């Protein structure tokens, strides 16, 4: 590598996420979806919004930065404005969808311990009406404190200049008893939960 190229490699600023999209491991698949026209919903200079490939509700999207950022723990103070921008993208998407259907409710946030690489913010409707929602882990990851609201993450980053996650504490939440996010009922298993949340859907 000549001197000029080496310098731009070392000091060239953020690495675009798509440069890292070559890996075949399942945990890198979001990078591939960011480049798949069938998955991309919208994009701008900083972010790409994709459909979640296994939606856990009627409406489930992921908003990812174009800059390569592997997870919450890679964030520093310089990312505050990017996270605020991702939050705004989520709010704008939510508005588009709720303008069409005012009965929809959304949350936008991050899994404390994600399974997929490249930072991604979930934007998910709160009906949880989906055949892809199959396990206790799925349910608890979206309805317990394991799901951290985007605004909460921004607040943490602003106050501490980093996002610190106690993995043990959050992973324990995934094993907790099932609780309905609407009425705090405790269904005994996933089939009972699905039947129970259907009663809320029919009331809407
Ligand atoms: P997590 O890493 O736990 O925050 O969640 C990763 C999300 O990515 C899940 O909601 C998956 O359904 C979704 N997912 C998995 N593979 C893909 C893919 N290839 N393209 C889009 N979304 C995906
Ligand atoms: Zn309930």
Q: Give the pLDDT confidence of 42-60 residue by residue, as tens digits.
A: 999 999 999 999 999 999 9
- Would you say 66 and 15 are in contact if contact means Cβ atoms under 8 Å apart? no
Diameter over CA atoms, the chain: 67
Q: What's the mean per-residue pLDDT of the chain?
A: 91
Output DSSP code: residue 16.
B
Least distant ligand from the CA of 123: 1
CB of 50 closer than 6 angstroms to any ligand 1 atom = yes
Instruction: Tell me how far the alpha carbon of residue 182 lies from the centroid of ligand 1, in angstroms.
Output: 24
Atom 14, ligand 1: which residue's CA is nearest?
Answer: 53
The whole-number pLDDT of residue 11 equals: 38
Closest listed residue to residue 151, CA positions, set 109, 95, 90? 109
Round to whole Å and give the CA distance between 143 and 158: 25
- Model pLDDT for residues 125-174, shown as the tens digit of each residue: 999 999 999 999 999 999 999 999 999 999 999 999 999 999 999 999 99
**Long-range contacts of residues 168-177, Cβ cutoff 8 Å, at least 24 apart:** 170/112, 170/113, 170/145, 170/146, 171/113, 173/112, 173/140, 173/144, 173/145, 173/146, 174/136, 174/137, 174/140, 174/141, 174/144, 174/146, 175/136, 175/140, 176/140, 176/144
Q: At the fourth CATH level, which superfamily is domain 5-202?
A: HIT-like (3.30.428.10)
Among 30, 41, 109, the mutation site with the greatest number of ligand 1 atoms within 8 A of its Cβ is 30
Cα of 182 vs centre of ligand 2, distance in Å, is 5
Domain coordinates in residue numbering, the chain:
5-202
Question: Would you please indicate which residues are annotated as catalytic (active-site) residues?
Answer: 120
CA of 201 to the centre of ligand 2 (A): 10
Helices (H), 101-135: none
What is residue 202's predicted lDDT score, i.e. its pLDDT? 75
Instruction: Answer yes or no: is the C-beta of 21 below 6 A from any ligand 1 atom.
Output: no
With cut-offs at 50, 70 and 90, classify the pLDDT of residue 109.
Answer: very high
């Amino acid at each position: 590598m000549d001197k000029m190229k080496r310098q731009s490699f070392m000091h060239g600023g953020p690495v675009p996420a798509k440069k890292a999209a070559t890996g075949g491991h399942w945990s890198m698949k979001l990078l591939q979806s960011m480049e798949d026209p069938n998955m991309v919903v919208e994009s701008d200079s900083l972010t790409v919004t994709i459909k979640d490939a296994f939606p856990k509700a009627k409406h489930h999207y992921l908003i990812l930065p174009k800059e390569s950022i592997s997870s919450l723990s890679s964030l520093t103070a310089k990312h505050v404005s990017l996270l605020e921008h991702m939050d705004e993208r989520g709010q704008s998407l939510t508005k588009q969808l709720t303008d069409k259907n005012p009965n929809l409710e959304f949350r936008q946030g991050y899994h404390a311990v994600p399974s997929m690489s490249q930072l991604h913010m979930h934007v998910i409707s709160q009906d949880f009406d989906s055949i892809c929602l199959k396990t206790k882990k799925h349910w608890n990851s979206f309805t317990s404190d394991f799901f951290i609201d985007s605004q909460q993450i921004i607040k943490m980053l602003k106050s501490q200049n980093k996002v610190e996650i106690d993995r043990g504490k959050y992973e324990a939440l995934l094993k907790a008893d099932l609780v309905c996010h609407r009425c705090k009922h405790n269904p005994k298993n996933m089939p009972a939960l699905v039947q129970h949340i259907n009663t809320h859907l029919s009331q809407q």
